[in-house]
Structure formats: C-alpha cells, structure tokens
Amino acid sequence: MDKEGLMQIMPHRDPMLLVDRSELTPDGVVSEYTIPDDPYYTHGHFPGNPIVPGVILCEIMAQGSVLLFQDKLKDKLALYAGMDKVRFKRTVRPGDTVTVRSTMGNCRGTFLSVNATAYVNDELCASGQLSFMLVDKAIEN
C-alpha cells in the first residue's frame, strides 16, 4: 500500500506522515520510509551532523505498524499509551531508508501493542514494544 492508501487509514499528513509504503505479510507488516535529504527534525539535531531523533524512529515504527490493526481504525484513532524495551542500535541519517517489521502483541479492549524493529540496510537501528489506546475520532469543525 502506498502513501495515498495509508492516508485512507491514518490521519497523518506531511510532514508527519512517516511511511512511504506498507504491506501485510504472513509474519506481520513490513513498511518503508526514506528519510528526506533535509527533514525539519534534523535542523537542530545536530547542526553539521544531522541525525534522526529516536522519538522520530519510534513514530516511524508506530506508523509502519498500523496495518496490523487497520480494521479497528474505522471510527477510532490510535494514540500512544506507552513504549517499552525501546533500544537504539544504529544512527539513522537523512537519505537512509528505514524498513520496519511489525507483529501484533497483546490486544485487550481498546488497548493494543505491537512489537516493532527498524532496520537500515538490514542493520538493526531500533526496536521496541509500542502500546496504543484506541479513542473515538474527534469531530472535525
């Protein structure tokens, strides 16, 4: 599924839409996002040595996992409820393509979790268990 298809499921839009493509596999979901050459979040992180912040990597993993529970998002919004066992193993820079592999964790009512790993060139850069709570979508004005 490309960005246009993902925007039918997720409320995110540029510059915070951090998935280029995503697909369901027999093992879960595989998604990709290529970091732009000059993203706003590296302007001060760090001048002359741009590094993608860890929180952005977590958001890439979260958005890259959305197809796991897309059926629950018809009238709901998935908000972060927590992040556990998050680890960063490799620096990610502008121009890198991040591949996210996600599997479903626990699902209890309106709370669910996913296990996500992020790679650049098949080298682990981040991993963690991401928890979400499903809330009613806000009414647009």
- Could you tell me which of 95, 88, 85, 97 has the C-alpha nearest to residue 124? 88
| Separation between Cα atoms, residue 133 and residue 128, nearest integer Å | 17
Element housing 59 (H / E)? helix 54-64
Q: Which two tokens stand for residue 32?
A: 């990709």
The residues carrying an active-site annotation are 45
| Separation between Cα atoms, residue 92 and residue 67, nearest integer Å | 24
What SS3 class is residue 63? Answer: helix
Q: Is residue 136 a contact partner of residue 76, using CB atoms and an 8 Å limit?
A: yes
